[in-house]
Amino acid sequence: MAKVHGPGYSALSKGRYSSIGEQYFLTFNLARPQTGLTEPELLAAVRREWVRLGEARHWEVRTAVVMPDHLHLLVRLRAETEVGDVIRLFKGHLAAVLRPHRLNWQRSFYDHRLRHGEDAFPVFRYIFLNPYRAGLLAAGESWPGYFCDAEDWEWFRTLTDEGTPFPEWLELR
């Protein structure tokens, strides 16, 4: 039997706008209740794929975090490819890697295009804090699934407590 989605499902892509140079906060999930993206083999595959798409000039990943069941990325589109098409490439190439682990992607994804002049710091902080807020590690530890582009890390690191979150950041919601 085909899965029937609620009335808001088709609205997810309404108004989706893609343009070279635009920044997008992206989230995609494994089909629930699956986990396993942070297994070393899968984590490495996820990183290789976003690098491959960067080298193919589809996007530039500014910051990202791979969690056990989902990932968040802040990307800048680099080609005239629609954001949905780049995500299909990303998820499609990784599907073969996930299959032997009995994992698969949730069909939809979340995207938010940052408007011109919109401060990216809140997105950087949200992505950075995701594993801490999920209770996966203590404040003084580093998450192996976190990535920040070297140029962005130069400014963002100075806003952290030596590369880890300030305790008051963990209290913010």
What are the extents of the domains in the chain?
A: 19-171
Grouped pLDDT means (10 residues each) for the chain, 173 residues: 39 52 92 94 96 94 97 91 89 95 93 90 95 90 94 92 83 65
Do 77 and 20 contact (CB within 8 A), yes or no? yes
How far apart are the C-alpha atoms of 5 and 135, rounded to whole Å? Answer: 31
Does the CA dihedral 22-95-37-6 come out positive or negative?
positive
- The CB-side HSE value for 50 (13 A sphere, CA atoms) comes to 23
pLDDT at residue 49, rounded to an integer: 96
pLDDT at residue 3, rounded to an integer: 37
For the domain made up of 19-171, give the CATH fold: Alpha-Beta Plaits (3.30.70)
